[in-house]
Structure 1
Amino acid sequence: MFLGIDCGTQGTKAVLLDAATGRILGEGSASHDMISGANGRREQMAEQWIQALETATRQALAHADLPGSIIQGIGISGQQHGLVLLDSNGEVLRPAKLWCDTESTPENDELLDYLGGAKGSLERLGVAIAPGYTVSKLRWTQKYFPDIFARIAHILLPHDYLNYWLTGRCCTEFGDASGTGYFNVRSRQWDIDLLRYIDPTERLVSALPELIESHEPVGTLLAQVTKRLGLNENVIVSSGGGDNMMGAIGTGNSQEGLITMSLGTSGTVYAYSDSARVSPHASVATFCSSTGGWLPLICTMNLTNASGALRELLDIDLQTFNQLIEQAPVGAEGITILPFFNGERVPSLPNATASILGLTASNFTRANLCRAMVEGVIFGLRYGLDLLRDTGMHSQTIRLIGGGAKSPVWRQLVADIMDTPVISTRHTEAAALGSAIQAAWCWSHQHGSPEGLEALSKRCVQLDEATQTVPDTERANAYEVIYQRYRYQLSALHSETLDAL
């Protein structure tokens, strides 16, 4: 029996997986608070992640009506790029800056200049660093909190920190390390010289976590954690990984020929590759996977957070929101929304703000605004999918996960705009499931009878045939024209920034 934990932006989710049958026996969740600022600050208290992990674990065990002693292994998924700083006593030095934090954009620009722009960053690291990446957060901390910077003893990502809390060991694996901005995805090594550029004293270099392979365990639970969670002392903690890497495992995306699309707070599209196929497009991040390969990926900063903002403004629930989308015609009668409430990564517009274009007295309706908002966020994913396809990533079907994947309205919009059939996995919280599967994979390696990840995925990842959605030819053709309108308006407003990429 294996426990999968996903520490996301909005909350922590837990699943209890019987790896022998592939059945999920219990689930739990707990929410997180966000510390936000008008300057792009997005931070969270790491202690809250621990409290949420405890709550979600207890709920999952209660839901399954099983004792904690039955757990054999734990896998942790965490939101990528976040910066958790510890002192020499293992205490957290300040709130964790998150993936969606854009406060360090000036520091990212400074580091990009040092690397030779996006092209130089791609050549050196295999990725073009973006404001959300960890590296600019380090430079920002050095600039604005020098006293804290001087006390740094450990640099961890969110999933690394939870692994540290569970086991007392500071380490990371190649997938999540890929999103730091100081890691070479081709050679799978830290870029030590980049960290020395930020701080020649070697403080950052000495604070790096140990790199381990995806199938290796971090360790077993500390005695105090065993008591706190009600588990047994023999539980192993797998390497874990970033939420996208765990989501890939949780959708069976560990071999070429599949594309996964996540419709969560942010939007991601990714596909497995068995080689470091670095894209010439700066917006494509050729991360390592948490399975021994690579995971070319695009990430948009605005998805259900954007639609949620509109629902809050209109004071409507999710059901009403979806009904209004269906009432409006394709293209929302000429309204286009560029939903860059939090800047944007794909296309790369970190300083952009949201725009509503094409409003008239006749089309200014709630239904059109709701449809235009969802079209706008999905157009961003289409923009990214086109970049992946240009890099050679193809699939006959898109596997959908995340909250948006639960909605038939959203599924149809994705199918029509991508002109590709979509299907959801039966368990849409794929990162938590992927973490549990990885824990089972790790456990089998440790017990002398290693089971292949593909065999585990085949047994544990189930597609929900009821969600199979095919594009409507007429709507898909109409959306091709409307998508080009989106591209034109995007270029008209942000041509100077986009041309510089």
Structure 2
Amino acid sequence: MYLGIDCGTQGTKALLVDENGSPLGRGYAKHLLIEGESGAREQEPKWWVEALKSSVRIALGQAGSAEVSALGVSGQQHGLVVLDEAYEVIRPAKLWNDTQTAGQNAELIELLGGRDECLRRFGILPLTGYTASKLLWMKQVEPANFKRIRHILLPHEYLNFWLTGEMKAEYGDASGTAFFDVRTRMWAREVLDAIDGRTGQLFRALPPLMGSEETVGVVLEEVARELGIPPGCIVSSGGGDNMMGAIGTGNVREGVVTMSLGTSSTVYSYQDHPSDDRTGEVAPFCSSSGGWLPLVCTMNATNVVMGTLNLLGKTVEEIELALAEIKPGADGLTFLPFLNGERTPDLPLARGSLVGISAMNYTASHLVRAAVEGVSFGILSGLNLILKGRRPEVILVIGGGARSEGWRQLLADATGASVRVPAEEESGCLGAAMQAMVAYSRAYGGAITLVEVADRCAKISADATLTPRPELREAYDRARQLYTERLHSAYPHLV
């Protein structure tokens, strides 16, 4: 058996599969969240460890077996975990959706020579939410804690450390720190020097880099006993949740688009070469499968839709009713869904707004449709940047939003693409387990590739595929154009 673990924002999931990717056992445990009015979003790393233990035990119990050959860990990207010289966590981890460091991010970009210079020097533009600005925030706001930093880890790397006692970083997750050159696949020391004043403190705190096909180590004996798995269990490199989601949906060759509709929304497509985007809107990440994974993330997705439903006293099932009842464009009602600020476009301090309210469209159903459209149009604008205006032919949709047939149909109608759903809903877990299969094979002299594993394990749910309705394309084009016009009216500097 192979075990995939996905440490997300809301909780940790565990999935046990056989060599064909068929599920044998599942587990889940929730996380707490520390929130602040200033935009702080933090979690204690020990909560992830406890959730990992609980979810794995549940999955093993369902499987009725503990014979795990290898495991992989998927983790929420960009989170900052800092340890002192005794390997103790210094403070709660600041998460990907923490906007408290917006000022420090702007300051860091200036320190590095501006937006264009960042893109030229490192191939990536630091955005609020990436790891780098969190370090500058610590230096300015918590100087005593900053001085104690001896080790810098991302969430999945911290869990790998707990599992194996080894500290290593892998290219995909590292590329979301903003102190990593995505073209050369090396740490960008100049970024850290700009933060710590060239003392070398932060650069020395970084773990060594490794390829995604390599093995971090094996599970420690005491950890194996606690989890109930064999002590020789191999741990693959793991990676960020988007990178593992790409693997789990078979997005390991060019031409595949994956869209995740979770708390945040992401869209990405594997490439054999680095992204040449110069807008700064596309995150030119490395993949965890040997290539690159240009990605656009919006920070507002299912949280906006669920918040709207809760405010109106509606249930999830009523999304379908609202989308069926109200025509595309919501009769002129536009929802700019920036409840948590926004990453794409880069508006960390933005707030949401409803535009175009009238007596005709001021209904609960219109509000629900406007919320779904606002989230969808935002992420589809990102897809346009990745594909450089080309129309996608197939989009694989994952995450909580993928459960809504009406939402999937909206995406199909608005893009002209066939919208498909992977058979395994937990693509991050599956991707981590698939990567573990490759690591296990190579550890014993095999030469299996992720493409081969993906062909075997990344299956599509045939009865969930939706095709576009051409007669609605014009209406959605008009609605998307109105959304763009109102966005630029609210934020003129984006034009």
Q: What TM-score, normalized by structure 2, do the two folds share?
A: 0.98
C-alpha displacement of 1:362: 2.5
Q: Aligned AA for 2:483?
A: Y
1:406–1:428 Cα contact (<8 Å) kept = no
Secondary structure of the corresponding residue to residue 481 of structure 2: helix
Q: Aligned AA for 1:454?
A: V
1:406 aligns with 2:403: yes
C-alpha displacement of 1:395: 4.2
1:233 aligns with 2:231: yes
C-alpha displacement of 1:275: 1.1
Secondary structure of the corresponding residue to residue 381 of structure 2: helix
Distance in structure 2 (CA, Å) of the matches to 1:196 and 1:118: 18
Q: Aligned AA for 2:70?
A: G
Distance in structure 1 (CA, Å) of the matches to 2:473 and 2:207: 47
C-alpha displacement of 1:429: 1.5
Secondary structure of the corresponding residue to residue 97 of structure 2: coil
Give the alignment of 1:383-394 within 5 angstroms: 383-390=381-388
The equivalent of 1:353 in structure 2 is 351
Secondary structure of the corresponding residue to residue 152 of structure 2: strand
1:420 aligns with 2:417: yes
C-alpha displacement of 1:22: 2.7
C-alpha displacement of 1:38: 1.3
1:41–1:102 Cα contact (<8 Å) kept = yes
Secondary structure of the corresponding residue to residue 491 of structure 2: helix
The equivalent of 1:329 in structure 2 is 327
The equivalent of 1:55 in structure 2 is 54
C-alpha displacement of 1:394: 6.5
C-alpha displacement of 1:118: 2.1
1:79 aligns with 2:76: yes
C-alpha displacement of 1:155: 0.3
Distance in structure 2 (CA, Å) of the matches to 1:191 and 1:62: 44
Secondary structure of the corresponding residue to residue 360 of structure 1: coil
Which consecutive aligned stretches of 4+ in structure 1 deviate over 4 angstroms post-superposition? Answer: none
Q: Aligned AA for 1:15?
A: L
Aligned-pair Cα RMSD in Å = 1.2
Q: Aligned AA for 2:323?
A: I
Deviates more, 1:328-337 or 1:112-121: 112-121
Distance in structure 1 (CA, Å) of the matches to 2:388 and 2:257: 14
The equivalent of 1:25 in structure 2 is 24
The equivalent of 2:9 in structure 1 is 9
C-alpha displacement of 1:345: 1.1
Give the alignment of 1:260-409 within 5 angstroms: 260-390=258-388, 395-409=392-406
The equivalent of 1:492 in structure 2 is 489
1:378–1:417 Cα contact (<8 Å) kept = no
Identity of aligned residues (%): 47
1:257–1:394 Cα contact (<8 Å) kept = no
Distance in structure 2 (CA, Å) of the matches to 1:358 and 1:60: 48
Distance in structure 1 (CA, Å) of the matches to 2:114 and 2:385: 19
C-alpha displacement of 1:115: 2.3
Distance in structure 2 (CA, Å) of the matches to 1:171 and 1:395: 36
Q: Deviations over 1:424-453 (max 9, x none)?
A: 100122111000000011110001112121
Secondary structure of the corresponding residue to residue 318 of structure 1: coil
How many residue pairs get aligned? The number is: 494
Q: Deviations over 1:125-175 (max 9, x none)?
A: 111110010000000011111111111111000000000110111111000
Cα–Cα, structure 1 residues 362 and 394, in superposed 2: closer, same or farther, change >3 Å? closer
2:392–2:416 Cα contact (<8 Å) kept = no
Q: Deviations over 1:89-138 (max 9, x none)?
A: 11111111000011000000001112232222111111111001000000
Where in structure 1 are there 5+ consecutive unaligned residues?
none
Q: Deviations over 1:449-487 (max 9, x none)?
A: 121211111111100111111111121221001100000
1:466 aligns with 2:463: yes
Q: What TM-score, normalized by structure 1, do the two folds share?
A: 0.97
The equivalent of 2:121 in structure 1 is 124
C-alpha displacement of 1:325: 3.1
1:198 aligns with 2:195: yes
Give the alignment of 1:427-442 within 5 angstroms: 427-442=424-439
The equivalent of 1:170 in structure 2 is 167
1:259–1:394 Cα contact (<8 Å) kept = no
Deviates more, 1:323-332 or 1:381-390: 323-332
The equivalent of 1:184 in structure 2 is 181
Give the alignment of 1:92-107 within 5 angstroms: 92-107=89-104
Secondary structure of the corresponding residue to residue 299 of structure 1: strand
Distance in structure 1 (CA, Å) of the matches to 2:329 and 2:393: 25
Q: Deviations over 1:17-68 (max 9, x none)?
A: 101x3311111111112111111111111111111111111111112222x2
Distance in structure 2 (CA, Å) of the matches to 1:150 and 1:433: 39
